[in-house]
Amino acid sequence: MNDEKLENLAKRLGSGAAARLDVDATARKVVERLREQPVRRLVWVQQTWLRVAAALVIVLGGAMAVRQSLIRPGSAHSAHFVADDLNDLSADELRDVLATFDELISTDSVAVPEGSTDLHELDAQQLRAVLRALEG
C-alpha cells in the first residue's frame, strides 16, 4: 500500500459515524447542557482569591514570627550602656549625673577608681568608667 492510498483510506475513516451525526440535534443538546451547567467562573474566582488571601496571611504571619524571633526583647539593650549616651557631657555635667546616683545608691557600691576620694578629682574618662561600673 502506498502513501496516497493510505491517506485516502484515512480520509474515509470515521466518515460513516460523521454522516450519521445529527448536527442540529447535537448543537441543541450542547447549548442546553451549557445552560443547565453554567460555567462556575465566579465561584472559581472567589475560591482563587480566597486561596491567595490565605497564602498571604500565612506568608506575612510567618515573616512576623521570624522577625519576632530574631529581635528578642532586651537583646538590643544588653550591649547598650547609658554611659555611652553621656559622651557629649562635660565633666561638670557628668558630676551632676553621678550626684543623682549618690542619692539612689549606697556610696559603698560605687566603684571609685583607686586613689580617688572625691568625684570632683576625676576627669571625664574616669567618670564614665564609674558610670559604667554602676550600670554593671
Partner 1 sequence: MANPLPRTDAAPDAALIAAWRDGDEQAAAELVGRHARPLARFLAGAGAPDADVDDLVQETFIRAFRSVDRFRGQCQFRTWLLTIGSNVLKDFGRRAARRKVLPLDEAVRDVTGDPHEHAEARETEALLAAGLQQLPRLQREVFLLRAQQGLEYEEIAAALATTPGAARVHYHHAVRRLKEIVK
Closest CB 2 distance from partner 1, rounded Å: 8
| Residue 47 touches partner 1, criterion: CB under 8 A | no
Site string for partner 1, 66-105 (x = CB under 8 A): ----------------------------------------
Asked if residue 43 binds partner 1 (CB under 8 A), the reply is: no
Contact call for residue 17 and partner 1 (CB under 8 A): yes
Q: Does 30 help bind partner 1 (rule: CB under 8 A)?
A: yes
Q: Which is nearer to partner 1, 34 or 58 (CB)?
A: 34
Three cell numbers written together for 84: 555611652
For residue 66, the SS3 value is helix
- Rounded to whole angstroms, the Cα distance separating 111 from 102 reads 12
Cβ contacts of 119 within 8 Å, gap of 6 or more: 95, 98, 99, 112, 127, 130
Stretch that binds partner 1, among 34-42, 83-91, 98-106, 111-119 (CB under 8 A): 34-42
Buried/exposed 33-67: b ≥16 CB within 10 Å, e otherwise: eeeeeeeeeeeeeeeeeeeeeeeeeeeeeeeeeee
* Residues near 90 by beta carbon (within 8 Å), at least 6 away in sequence: 124
Q: Which of 28, 51, 65, 121 binds partner 1 (CB under 8 A)?
A: 28
- Interface with partner 1 by CB under 8 A: which residues? 1, 3, 6-7, 9-24, 26-31, 33-35, 37, 39
